[in-house]
């Protein structure tokens, strides 16, 4: 098994092809700025792409929050830098997350244990699937502080909810609770707090039980479909399908079907 990367403000575990990244900065409500969480997230996503040992990644927070986004206590001091330096800090800082997320081959599940505010909300929207506890709250709250989503949040929210609802949430900066988030399509499922990780792991296990390479190619197709026309997408489908047909796992899946048993897949 590929060695797990060393992280600073988060922990990473893996069990039965399901990796779990847990933010451990409850002292600042798992803020993404003024911590090492940005680097920890990017490092984990790069690791996930480099190993066939993981088929799914769950992201969650320890403590009371999923992520409060930016650290408001240090925001004023950071804003004293000149504009060109602020822009550079975004590009070399928090904007690394959406780029790494976009390039991640395996499905990512956000297990939202508490408030996901600002960049924390955007981070959850970058994930493929979101499950939240009844303690979860969401807010695209940047305008409340006189700023805008600098991490690509408007791009992800548009694609998740459509323009009108994304505009309403972005321009009002209001905070919504878990039930409304599910009704809007932000959350796939709402659980009691103690059932959140079991629910996330149950879903992750269903995905992890499938042929690992097929999961990765299927995820890539879903992402490509967001920006391709039909002709381009069909070309990608045929290329990926040709590769999948030649894998050992495809042959194992066929044999398991005929034998009426579960497949034993190796990612080969």
Sign of CA dihedral 79, 83, 86, 90: positive
Which pLDDT score is estimated for 116?
98
> Per-residue pLDDT tens for 8-19?
999 999 999 999
pLDDT of 79 above 80: no
Fold of the CATH domain 212-259:
Lyase 2-enoyl-coa Hydratase; Chain  A, domain 2 (1.10.12)
Phi, psi dihedrals of residue 247, rounded to the nearest 5°: -85, 155
From 36-40, 83-87, 129-133, the region with the lowest mean pLDDT: 83-87
Outline which parts of the chain fall under CATH 1.10.12: 212-259
> Tokens 């993981």 label which residue?
54
The C-alpha atoms of residue 169 and residue 222 are separated, in whole angstroms, by 25
pLDDT of 171 above 80: yes
- Compute the C-alpha angle 208/213/217, nearest 5°: 105
pLDDT of 76 above 80: no
**Per-residue tokens: 259:** 């034998």
Is 10-208 in CATH node 2.30.40.10?
Answer: no
Confidence band for 75, pLDDT divided at 50, 70 and 90: confident
> Per-residue pLDDT tens for 121-168?
999 999 999 999 999 999 999 999 999 999 999 999 999 999 999 999
Ordered strands of the 137-139 beta sheet:
115-117, 137-139, 175-177
Q: What is the pTM (predicted TM-score) of this model?
A: 0.95
Which pLDDT score is estimated for 109?
98
**DSSP annotation of 28:** G
What is the distance, to the nearest Å, from the Cα of residue 8 to the centroid of all Cα atoms in its chain?
19
Which pLDDT score is estimated for 46?
97
The SS3 call for residue 137 is strand
Which pLDDT score is estimated for 49?
95
Is 112 within 8 Å of 133 (Cβ atoms)?
Answer: yes
Outline which parts of the chain fall under CATH 3.90.226.10: 10-208
Which pLDDT score is estimated for 80?
80
The SS3 call for residue 123 is helix
Q: Pairing between strand 175-177 and 137-139?
A: antiparallel
pLDDT of 71 above 90: no
Closest CA to 57 of 43, 70, 36, 38: 43
Task: Specify the higher pLDDT residue, 204 or 83.
Answer: 204
Is 178 within 8 Å of 192 (Cβ atoms)?
Answer: no
pLDDT of 187 above 80: yes
């Amino acid at each position: 098994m590929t060695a797990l990367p060393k992280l600073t403000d988060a922990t990473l575990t893996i069990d039965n092809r399901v990796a779990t990244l847990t933010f451990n900065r409850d002292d600042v409500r798992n803020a993404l700025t003024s911590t090492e969480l940005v680097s920890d997230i990017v490092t984990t996503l790069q690791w996930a792409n480099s190993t066939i040992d993981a088929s799914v990644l769950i992201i969650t927070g320890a403590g009371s929050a999923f992520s409060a986004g930016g650290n408001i206590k240090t925001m004023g001091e950071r804003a004293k830098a000149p504009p060109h330096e602020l822009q550079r800090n975004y590009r070399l800082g928090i904007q690394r997350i959406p780029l790494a997320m976009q390039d991640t081959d395996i499905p990512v599940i956000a297990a939202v244990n508490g408030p996901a505010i600002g960049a924390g909300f955007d981070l959850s929207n970058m994930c493929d699937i979101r499950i939240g506890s009844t303690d979860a709250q969401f807010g695209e709250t940047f305008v409340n502080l006189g700023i805008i989503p600098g991490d690509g949040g408007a791009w992800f929210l548009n694609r998740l909810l459509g323009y009108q609802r994304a505009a309403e949430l972005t321009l009002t900066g209001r905070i919504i609770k878990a039930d409304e988030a599910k009704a809007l399509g932000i959350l796939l499922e709402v659980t009691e707090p103690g059932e959140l990780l079991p629910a996330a792991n149950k879903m992750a296990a269903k995905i992890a039980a499938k042929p690992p390479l097929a999961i990765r190619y299927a995820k890539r197709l879903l992402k490509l479909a967001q920006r391709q026309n039909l002709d381009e997408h069909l070309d990608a489908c045929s290329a990926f399908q040709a590769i999948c047909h030649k894998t050992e796992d495809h042959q194992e899946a066929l044999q398991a079907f005929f034998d009426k048993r579960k497949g034993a897949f190796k990612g080969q």
